[in-house]
Amino acid sequence: MGVAEQARRSREAATVLATASRRLKDSALDAMASSLLERYAEILVANQADIVRSSASDTPAHLIDRLRLNVDRLHAMADGLRQVAGLPDPVGEVLRGSTLLNGLELRQIRVPLGVIGIIYEARPNVTADAAGLCLKAGNAVLLRGSSSARDSNAAIVSVLRDAVASVSLPPDAIQLVDATSRDSVKELMRARGLVDVLIPRGGADLIRSVVEESTVPVIETGVGNCHVYVDEAADLDMALRILLNAKTSRPSVCNAAESLLVHSAVSDEFLARALPALRDAGVTVHGDQAVVAAGSSVGVPVVPATDEDYAAEYLSMDISAAVVPSLDDAIVHIRRYGSSHTEAIVTGSQAAARRFTAEVDAAAVAVNASTRFTDGGEFGFGAEIGISTQKLHARGPMGLPELTSTKYLVVGDGHIR
């Protein structure tokens, strides 16, 4: 079955989902969670096939680890689905309402988006997470996972579809798109009118190509070149704690820090402590002249940074670093190199915090907190479908409300204009 035909089936399923009650949707989510655990054997067998195939093709060990499922990971997936069942239903929420001068009653309510396409890489747990969130918000989903996880994803989707059917909702609410052909991505991108939005989750290249080629509206996610700016009025102990956490607690994720900016008034003192600490944590610093000099005075080697370094999302134990003469220069640097994901300032100055939060344009701006908090779970959304770094529709961690659109209801008693 081609993607267009799948999308037509999604559209049909979406019309049913759109008016399904919360109770019914939550029953589906509970059934999905239970089925994942009951049918663990067939999922793990399929997963084993993916792992054997990847091992045979010299896939790096850390990627094979991301691919691997076990009973614990299935429990985590099931827990995630049950958690989504516990979240309030965004559909039907009244966002605004008023009675107009002429007596017309106006209400703006949340409605599902319709059909959501998700293009993602590697980890098969995303399959269950994304399916659960889309279903709860009343949407049908077309899942295009990576080819390396194709057997795992097929098994998971088969289990989830059966669970959806078991509560008499249409199983086509959750469909898997052929992961072995590149054409399936192209077809998804051209399914305007059938697919309401595409969410690419993955590397910068994937996201760029979808943005460039899709005629279906896209929500861009995830590239994070996040900065930590240590202001002249910073508490340097706090700054060091935040820097280490932002850089090293999980370097492979988009909300990890990739760049350090230090005000020149405190750079000698701060770098003399931060550079050895970063080295001890296993981080390579790519610095400007001032940082290189600070490194040599404390015996820590610093790699001279290029323009590419300041623009890089390393996703590794590397960080670029520069000394800036003022808050203004920090803001200009971030404006030039940042990816508008998360930018943090460490400062004791209310004036500096106010200017930084007002003038830095990003999905999230943190004051005296690690960049790592930009996350749907941390923000209390219960779950997230990704982190939008674009400005339209959704910006920052996307939870259930971001998977909806709106509709105006206009109720009169014969009103004409």
Give least dist CB 317 to its own copies, A: 17
Tell me if 373 contacts its own copies by CB under 8 A.
yes
- Cα gap 405→137, rounded to integer Å: 10
What part of residues 7-66 is at the interface with its own copies (CB under 8 A)?
A: 15, 18-19
Give least dist CB 269 to its own copies, A: 18
Q: What CA–CA distances, in Å, run from 329 to 96, 182, 317, 343, 359?
A: 41, 44, 25, 14, 12
Q: Which stretch binds its own copies (CB under 8 A): 1-9, 147-155, 222-230, 241-249?
A: 241-249
Which H helix or E strand runs over 113? none
- Cα gap 34→96, rounded to integer Å: 38
- Binder to its own copies among 274, 364, 383, 385 (CB under 8 A)? 364
Among 140, 141, 33, 90, residue whose Cα is nearest residue 399: 90
Phi, psi of 141 (to 5 degrees): -125, 140
Give least dist CB 334 to its own copies, A: 12
Q: Which stretch binds its own copies (CB under 8 A): 29-37, 103-111, 144-152, 289-297?
A: 103-111
Tell me if 147 contacts its own copies by CB under 8 A.
no
101: burial class by Cβ within 10 Å (0-12, 13-18, 19+)?
exposed
Give least dist CB 108 to its own copies, A: 8
Residue 115 or 271: the one with the smaller Cβ distance to its own copies is 115
- Binder to its own copies among 78, 134, 362, 385 (CB under 8 A)? 362
- Cα gap 212→190, rounded to integer Å: 12
- Cα gap 82→385, rounded to integer Å: 16
- Cα gap 212→340, rounded to integer Å: 19
Contacts with its own copies, residue ranges (CB under 8 A): 15, 18-19, 98, 100-101, 104, 106, 108, 111, 113-114, 192, 196-197, 211-212, 215, 217-219, 235, 238, 241-242, 245-246, 249, 335, 353, 357-359, 361-370, 372-374, 378-380, 390-393, 395-396, 405-417
